[in-house]
């Protein structure tokens, strides 16, 4: 039987229907050798690899996590996949499978959903992961729910392993997505490098495993803000952390945005998220290539476990994104 024709360019989800859209989306997701049963049955069946199985789930809600007038559907697809793939990266693992749920208004253009799937699949391809299933339903706005499954070939790196005397190190660009969000929020589209960084983050997907192999004792993905994530590491490890402001480079695009918006560009680095850089702790002398030492782990002081300071003092600015 010949496959059904693709939807018309102006077709909506209501026009295409649930199963018509599913058939379009499934065709965009190639399956890896570890997938025994992929999309189409009640559940996927995967061949479990050696090591530890690691799983994470994230949500993206239109109007809170993204806006369709700020990013293309493919951009949103890249972002939705990246934030989940990065969570496994932060455990020292690698993703191999994802499921994605899409809730959307009936009048959403079908082309938007298909372009979203293209972007999602392209990001997954960067780590060789397969989209093995999902769900589709109706909602008043676009909501995306993603679950990612992967493996760690060594013991997973948790948030709770930092000890006093260790170094805090960063891998990946930081503050760029926050700069792009600030620009878009003011109605501008430049500097383009920052706007693009917000629209499509570029996590370093090999960095987590390299850090684990180099002896990282605690690690976290920076999705909500560097200082906020440092606070999670400190609290879970029962330590304090001091961040050194002089350790951060402030590239020209961040300085330009700071000057244009009247904000300290360092605040974008310290409080910004969505770049999905990694923050980890190491024994002195052990951070691998590509990691920059940005602070140190201390014994709890007057602030108690979980306290994070900048240059030895409490930070007065925003430390990160809050969901409620």
Which residues are annotated binding-site positions for substrate?
65, 274, 321
Q: Which residues are annotated as a binding site for Mg(2+)?
A: 42, 56-58, 87, 135, 221, 224
How far apart CA 234 and CA 218 sit, in angstroms, is 10
| 204 dihedral zone (left: phi>0; alpha: psi -120 to 50; beta) | beta
- Closest residue by Cα to residue 74 from 132, 28, 36: 28
- For 185, the enclosing helix (H) or strand (E) is helix 176-185
Q: Is the peptide bond before 222 cis (omega within 30 degrees of 0)?
A: no
Q: Which residues are annotated as a binding site?
A: 42, 56-58, 65, 87, 134-135, 159, 221, 223-224, 274, 321
Q: Which residues are annotated as a binding site for ATP?
A: 134-135, 159, 223
Torsion angle of C-alpha atoms 192, 208, 98, 81, degrees rounded to 10: -10
How far apart CA 240 and CA 234 sit, in angstroms, is 5
Local structure of residue 245 (DSSP, 8 states): G
- For 280, the enclosing helix (H) or strand (E) is strand 278-282
């Amino acid at each position: 039987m010949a496959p059904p024709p693709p939807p018309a360019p102006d077709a909506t989800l209501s026009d295409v229907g649930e199963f018509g859209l599913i058939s379009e989306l499934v065709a965009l997701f190639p399956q890896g050798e570890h997938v025994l049963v992929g999309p189409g049955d009640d559940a996927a069946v995967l061949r479990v690899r050696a090591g530890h199985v690691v799983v994470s789930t994230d949500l993206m809600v239109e109007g809170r996590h993204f806006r369709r007038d700020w990013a293309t559907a493919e951009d949103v697809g890249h972002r939705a996949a990246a934030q989940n793939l990065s969570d496994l990266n932060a455990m020292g693992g690698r993703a191999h499978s994802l499921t994605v749920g899409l809730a959307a208004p009936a009048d959403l253009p079908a082309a938007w959903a298909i372009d979203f799937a293209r972007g999602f699949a392209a990001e997954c391809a960067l780590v060789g992961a397969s989209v093995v299933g999902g769900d589709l339903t109706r909602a008043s706005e676009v909501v995306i729910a993603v679950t990612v499954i992967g493996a760690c070939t060594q013991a997973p790196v948790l948030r709770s392993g930092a000890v006093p005397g260790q170094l805090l190190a960063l891998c990946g660009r930081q503050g760029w997505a926050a700069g792009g969000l600030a620009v878009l929020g003011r109605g501008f589209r430049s500097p383009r490098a920052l706007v693009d960084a917000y629209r499509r983050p570029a996590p370093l997907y090999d960095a987590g495993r390299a850090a684990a192999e180099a002896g990282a004792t605690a690690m976290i993905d920076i999705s909500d803000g560097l200082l906020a994530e440092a606070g999670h590491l400190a609290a879970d490890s029962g330590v304090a952390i001091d961040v050194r402001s002089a350790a951060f480079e402030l590239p020209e695009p961040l300085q330009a945005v700071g000057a244009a918006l009247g904000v300290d560009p360092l605040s974008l680095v310290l409080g910004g998220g969505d770049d999905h850089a990694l923050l980890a702790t190491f024994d002195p002398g052990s951070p691998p290539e590509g990691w920059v030492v940005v602070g140190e782990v201390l014994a709890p002081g007057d602030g108690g476990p979980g306290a994070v300071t900048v240059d030895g003092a409490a930070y007065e600015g925003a430390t990160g994104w809050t969901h409620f």
